[in-house]
Structure 1
Amino acid sequence: MRVLLVSWEYPPVVVGGLGRHVHHLATALAAAGHEVVVLARRPTGTDGSTHPTEAVVADGVLVVAVAEDPAHFAFGVDMIEWTLALGHAMVRAGLALSKPGVGEGWVPDVVHAHDWLVAHPAIALAEFFDVPLVTTFHATEAGRHSGWVSGRVNRQVHSIEWWLAQESDAVITCSASMDDEVARLFAPPGPMHVVRNGIDTSTWTFRPHGPTGRAPALLYVGRLEYEKGVQDLIAALPRLRRTHPGTTLTIVGDGTQRDHLIELARAHRVRRSVAFAGSADHDGVLAHLHRADVLVLPSRYEPFGIIALEGAAAGIPLVASTAGGLGEAVTDGVTGRSFAPGDVAGLATAVRRSLDEPERTRALVDAARERLTADFAWSTVARETATILAAAKRRVRTPYARPHVVERPLPERDSS
């Protein structure tokens, strides 16, 4: 197949797990013999004079990195305007693929979109080329905000997600919980499929952990946003230090909650025990995984949580909440320790068990590593995705009304 992947992040522009997912999927599809073109973007804050649109072939994939348009929009302030400008630039670059001398008349068999930020170009290009549109939803605005979409931008994002779901000829999610979430929020008219994220175990050196004789070192890797639950991990640290004196926490990543989390560490009187390491590349993350004793993933909302796979591949014990896809990736007492999202006491108990039962913990680490090679190989992910892309058929479009946006979580049903 000729596959056009559309994503707002792709190496070297990586914001989170989505960029790594699309990169591995693209290269695995290319390795399987498909013609793959990725429409992505140049780094935020650049322009066409310093960072013009470029097309390079890497790992068998043609990557078209689109320059930002001249209009001055800041993503954090003008999110929707910035996204529309990005979409306009991507549409022009996508159309150019079919022009002789530019893309040598390349036309896709299917367009594969990744999340709402590329809804406009993906929908436009699928319509122009008259090919199926398949969308992978990596998260939802409602999910990220515990069901609340009461803010103006929240409602706009939610509406674009709904529109993208309606326009998609097939929908892919990364976990059963995300499949349920997307079905409940958007009721896509096309078929829905679950394809879990993958991992290349060869790039995550396995190094079993054992007794070090020093105080326990905990690790968190990920974005610093409310839904990631880092505030719960910091709140649990004083409890852990009472039973395991000297316990430290290293936080790898960045986000809008960084300053708040620093103040929270001060409020809990553990600031000197918490190191904010900032963002890290692959080798930096791997080094942190090898140094720490436990990887703690306290998410309150998590579509999948690819860092759990990376941690298991590196041999670090896992302690994770049961939120969304994490509950499917980390099985309590089988591949790690689990606790309920937002349960600070439960988090502390799970970490203590991981620290206090070293032989059992080593067995869980081995089980987690073994499961990775069987269930999460990128070749498997690419094969499952290619099957969905090949089976997608472009539906006849009919006009539809504006979506009804529920601004806050619906009340629980009365079961009495």
Structure 2
Amino acid sequence: MDAVAAFTDTYLPTVNGVTYTVKTWRDQWHARGGRMDVVYPGSDDYTPDDGEYPVRSLPFPFYEGFRLGMPRIPDEVEDVDVVHAHTPFALGLSGLRLARREDIPFVASYHTPTGEYASYITSVESVEDRIEGLSERYEQWFFDHADTVITPSTVTKDYLLNTLGVDTDVTVISNGVDTERFRPVDTDAFRDKYDLDGPLVGYTGRHGYEKCLGDIVDAVAEADVDATLVFGGDGPARESLERRAENRGVDARFLGFLPREELPAFYSVLDAFLFPSPVETQGIVALEANACGTPVVGVNSGALADTVEDGVTGYHFAPGDIDGFAAATRRTLAERETLSENCLASREKISVGHAVDELAAVYERVR
């Protein structure tokens, strides 16, 4: 197995889709006898394991919980066969420098459309547009230096090729789900702990404004279904979501950050997972829900247009269409049993083991 150096701007203790992907791929790689070092922004709240190398970092003032790693190649990272960058920014540049210095293949993953987050920096539309444009031009420059770019969906691949204008090879590999962890489980203890009763719909993940989570509250209000709305996770939009639910008269429960070991029970307890975010490059939580047998009502935009199989693992609605969101929620609840069976039948296809099989093939191809 190849020795790989992975460079990422987000890692433990931060919990998000990028962290999850890097960590699960690393664990799978090690289980197969390979070596995958990880270089990431250090934090006092996480003690690194062997092969994890934190670098000095600073908090990013515009996005709570995100830290900026200082560009550096730790001395311990040596004798590697492939460099894999999971970010185009500071630590991604360190990975590119290592690959060029050692004359070894450079692979980059595209996880996040960074231009979409310009609104966190400024509310001035003209400045926001300029930041988005600069971000896109920089991303094009960075990804054109890779031997191949990995995207988690065909929609994201099309964005790279047709919108950013990337000229390099682009390969689609799903981030994959740990199907040993994410599977249907008994939910009685989870219901008792959080005092949950009856049918449930909900979402878990970062409560970011860019994810349009307020649409969930509005859709549940319009759907007029006999179900409690449950939010797991936390983030800057939480307070506004709580106010919105109160104003709309929606029975909503906010559970806060859930330990990872409770996530299978959270997904399993839901009758439908509601996901209106248009900025996902895959939407790993949708796959986790499917792996637990829970269908997803997802926006027909971005990667969720691919991740959710309409009429198979859930239903789509048009961006911003609250009535359509409500109708898709009602339909999903009505067909819950059949959709759940379809979700469980797709578990092998969406597994992280399958994803790492394809990752190994990419590493072999670029060497």
TM-score (norm: length of structure 1): 0.76
Q: Are the aligned partners of 1:204 and 1:314 in contact in 2 as well (CA < 8 Å)?
A: yes
User: Which consecutive residues of structure 2, in runs of 5 or more, have no partner in the other structure?
Assistant: 120-124, 192-196
- Are 1:7 and 2:8 counterparts? yes
Deviations 1:354-412 (A, max 9, x none): 22x3xx42121111111121x1222221121122222226xxxxxxxxxxxxxxxxxxx
Residues 137 and 164, structure 2, Cα contact 8 Å, conserved in 1: no
Between the aligned residues of both structures, percent identity stands at 27
Q: In the alignment, which residue of structure 2 is the partner of 1:406?
A: none
Q: State the superposition RMSD in angstroms.
A: 2.9
Q: Quick one: which amino acid aligns to residue 30 of structure 2?
A: A
> What's the CA shift for 1:143?
4.7
* Residue matched to 1:65: 54
Partner of 1:316: 294
Q: Contact conserved, 1:4 with 1:38, CA < 8 A, in 2?
A: yes
For 2:254, what is the secondary structure of its paired residue?
Answer: strand
**What is the one-letter code of the residue matched to 1:130?**
D
Distance 1:347 1:141 in 2: 26
**Matched residue of 2:230: which SS?**
strand
Partner of 1:335 in structure 2? 313
After TM superposition, give the deviation of residue 181 of structure 1 in Å: 0.8
1:75 positional shift = 1.0
CA distance in 1, matches of 2:221, 2:54: 46
Q: Which residues of 2 match residues 124-139 of structure 1 at below 5 A?
A: 124-139=97-112
Find the aligned partners of 1:205 and 1:78 in 2 and give their Cα distance. Answer: 32
Equivalent-residue separation in structure 2 for 1:312 and 1:78 (angstroms): 29
With over 3 angstroms needed to count, the CA separation of the structure-2 counterparts of 1:257 and 1:303, relative to structure 1, is same
Q: In 1, are the aligned partners of 2:202 and 2:274 still within 8 Å (CA)?
A: yes
Q: Is residue 2:180 matched to residue 1:202?
A: yes
Q: Distance in 1 between matches of 2:220 and 2:167?
A: 46
Aligned partner of 1:110 in structure 2 is 82
Secondary structure of 1:131's counterpart equals: coil
State the AA in 2 paired with 1:372.
R
CA drift of 1:114 comes to 0.5
- Provide the rounded CA distance (Å) in 2 between the counterparts of 1:265 and 1:171: 41
Give the direction of change, closer, same or farther, for the CA distance of 1:82–1:290 in structure 2 (3 Å limit).
closer
Is 1:227 paired with 2:201?
A: no
- Aligned partners of 1:305, 1:55: CA distance in 2, in Å? 27
Structure 1 residue ranges (4+ consecutive) displaced by more than 6 angstroms after TM superposition: none
**Secondary structure class of the residue paired with 1:40:** strand
User: Residues of 1 paired with 2:110 and 2:235: CA distance?
Assistant: 21
Deviations 1:33-80 (A, max 9, x none): 32221112322xx4xxx97xx7633xxxx2223343xxxx4312499x
Residues 23 and 163 from structure 1, CA distance in 2 versus in 1: closer, same or farther, beyond 3 angstroms?
A: same
Provide closer, same or farther for how the CA distance between residues 156 and 388 of structure 1 changes in structure 2, counting only shifts above 3 A: same
In 2, Cα distance between equivalents of 1:362 and 1:292: 12
Is the Cα–Cα contact under 8 Å of residues 38 and 64 in structure 1 kept in the other structure?
yes
1:149 and 1:107 mapped to 2: Cα distance? 47
2-structure distance, mates of 1:64, 1:76? 23
Mapped partners of 1:320, 1:4: distance in 2? 34
Match of 1:74 among 59, 74, 77: 59
Distance 2:298 2:63 in 1: 34
> Which of 333, 353, 361 is the aligned partner of 2:336?
361
Instruction: Output one character per residue of 1:99-157: Cα deviation in whole Å (capped at 9) or x when no partner.
Output: xxxxxxx32111100023432212222222222211000121235579x8842654554
SS in 1 for 2:202: strand
CA contact (8 A) 1:317 1:362 kept: no
Match of 1:398 in 2: none
Residue of structure 1 aligned with 2:49, choices 46, 56, 70: 56
- Give distance in 1, aligned partners of 2:323 and 2:117: 23
SS in 2 for 1:119: helix
Q: Residue 144 of structure 2 aligns to a residue in which SS?
A: helix
C-alpha displacement at 1:13, in angstroms? 1.9
Secondary structure at the aligned position of 1:167 is classed as: coil
Provide closer, same or farther for how the CA distance between residues 317 and 190 of structure 1 changes in structure 2, counting only shifts above 3 A.
closer
Are 1:252 and 2:252 counterparts?
no
Q: For 1:372, what is the secondary structure of its paired residue?
A: coil
The runs of 5 or more residues in structure 1 that have no matched partner are 99-105, 394-416
Equivalences, count: 351
Partner residue, 2:361 = 387
Q: Secondary structure at 2:310's aligned position in 1?
A: coil
| 1:123 alignment partner in structure 2 | 96
Change (3 A) 1:78 1:142: closer
Distance 1:15 1:164, change over 3 A: farther
Q: Specify the SS of the correspondent of 2:40.
A: strand
Comparing 317-326 with 299-308, which one deviates more in the overlay?
Answer: 317-326
Amino acid aligned to 2:342 = A
Q: Deviations over 1:174-223 (max 9, x none)?
A: 000000111123322321111112112111231499xx9x6532111122
> Counterpart of 2:111 in structure 1: which amino acid?
H
Please list the CA deviations of residues 211-252 of structure 1 after superposition, one character each: whole Å capped at 9, or x if unmatched: x9x6532111122123322111111122223xx35x321111
What letter matches 1:76 in structure 2?
Answer: P
Cα drift, residue 5 of structure 1: 0.9
Which residue pairs with 2:259 in the alignment? 281
In the aligned structure 1, how far is the partner of 2:228 from the partner of 2:285? 20
CA distance in 2, matches of 1:388, 1:149: 40
Match of 1:26, SS? Answer: helix
2:76 counterpart of 1:97: yes
Structure 1 contact 218–250 (Cα < 8 Å) conserved: yes
| Cα distance between partner residues in 1 of 2:352 and 2:270 | 26
